[in-house]
């Protein structure tokens, strides 16, 4: 993994690409059983007859997998602490999809009240193996200034 | 469960309250191992020393649990299909927390192109047992018109 990134190491327009994860039908169903137990996330035949036209991952599964890719691929010093953001799912994640997150730093705001940190906004596009976005998120994360040696 | 809700059954200002779920330290760590493997979500001692000051659930875990409560507690006909939304985590979910989602319908927009459906925006506040919000989300979901008999 690359060196940990401090606030000073980041700039607007900077991009990162994470590793990838392959999504299986079993993983889609396992997540759905725990967190989103609806027929189109649990059962191929029921999913065929639904709006999705086939088994589709819960959007929250796509979000969780994207977070996993970000944690492994964006080495912010002190960890990746999100304060929230906006998430949309332009198309579903399907069994066999290989997901990668493309990150762009869109805004950096040093904290006015706490001189040791700042807020970094990132635009994160989770794309499948065809380059199509399955999730677009705008996530605010905390970044720390490099400690004085 | 209540009768399934169609677009005609919903109105701005309408509220719903879901059931509840208790969050254990084991569940927090299990989710984190799969989707957000950072020390403050995995280990009590490391979490003590972090910004969180103690074990805290991944925000995406809170989001997934909130979805589970919504699926069980908001019986939209045809299922709960979210198109996305904005999510913030005002405070972390802690081991032992009992979460409940308070839902309010904030906007209803019938589709212009498809007469069988509309978009419903909901404000969903996930609160702990002290009534404190751990997540506020503004989720857009698809609702269907009641089929003509």
Minimal C-alpha gap between B12 and chain A (Å): 22
Sorting pLDDT into bands at 50, 70 and 90, what band is A2?
low
Q: What is the mean pLDDT of residues A83-111?
A: 96
Q: What is the mean pLDDT of residues A53-69?
A: 97
Strands (E), A23-130: 82-88, 98-110, 117-127
Cβ B69 vs Cβ B18: under 8 Å: yes
Q: Residues in chain B whose beta carbon is closer than 8 A to a beta carbon of chain A? A: 31, 34-40, 50-51, 58-60, 63-65, 67-68, 71, 78-89, 142
Cβ A120 vs Cβ A140: under 8 Å: yes
At A108 the pLDDT is: 97
Give the H or E element holding residue A33.
Answer: helix A25-35
At B2 the pLDDT is: 63
At B40 the pLDDT is: 96
Q: Residues in chain A whose beta carbon is closer than 8 A to a beta carbon of chain B? A: 31, 34-40, 50-51, 58-60, 63-65, 67-68, 71, 78-89, 142
Q: What is the mean pLDDT of residues B88-105?
A: 97
Question: Per the CB < 8 Å rule, is B68 touching A35?
Answer: yes
Which residues of A are less than 8 Å from B89 in CB distance?
82-84
Mean pLDDT of chain A: 95
Q: What is the mean pLDDT of residues A56-85?
A: 95
Tokens, residue A133? 């976005």
Question: Per the CB < 8 Å rule, is B60 touching A63?
Answer: yes
Q: What is the mean pLDDT of residues A126-148?
A: 95
Q: What is the mean pLDDT of residues B93-114?
A: 96
Q: What is the mean pLDDT of residues B125-134?
A: 98
Question: Does the pLDDT of residue A149 top 80, yes or no?
Answer: no
At B148 the pLDDT is: 81
- Distance separating alpha carbons of residues A132 and A123, to the nearest angstrom: 15
A67: helix, strand or coil: helix
- Distance separating alpha carbons of residues B133 and B125, to the nearest angstrom: 6
At A148 the pLDDT is: 80
At A51 the pLDDT is: 87
Tokens, residue A27? 């993983």
Q: What is the mean pLDDT of residues B38-48?
A: 96
Question: Per the CB < 8 Å rule, is B37 touching A68?
Answer: yes
Q: pLDDT per residue over B55-82, tens digit each?
A: 999 999 999 999 999 999 999 998 999 8
At B3 the pLDDT is: 80
């Amino acid at each position: 993994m690359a060196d940990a990134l401090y606030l000073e190491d980041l700039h607007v327009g900077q991009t990162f690409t994470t590793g990838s994860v392959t999504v299986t039908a079993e993983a889609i169903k396992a997540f759905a059983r725990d967190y989103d137990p609806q027929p189109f996330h649990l059962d191929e035949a029921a999913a065929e007859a639904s709006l999705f036209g086939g088994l589709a991952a819960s959007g929250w599964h796509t979000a969780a997998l994207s977070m996993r890719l970000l944690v492994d691929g964006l080495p912010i010093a002190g960890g990746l602490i999100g304060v929230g953001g906006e998430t949309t799912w332009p198309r579903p994640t399907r069994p066999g999809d290989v997901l990668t997150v493309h990150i762009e730093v869109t805004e950096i705001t040093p904290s006015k009240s706490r001189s040791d940190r700042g807020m970094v906004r990132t635009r994160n596009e989770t794309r499948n193996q065809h380059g199509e976005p399955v999730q677009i998120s705008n996530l605010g994360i905390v970044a720390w200034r490099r400690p004085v040696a």
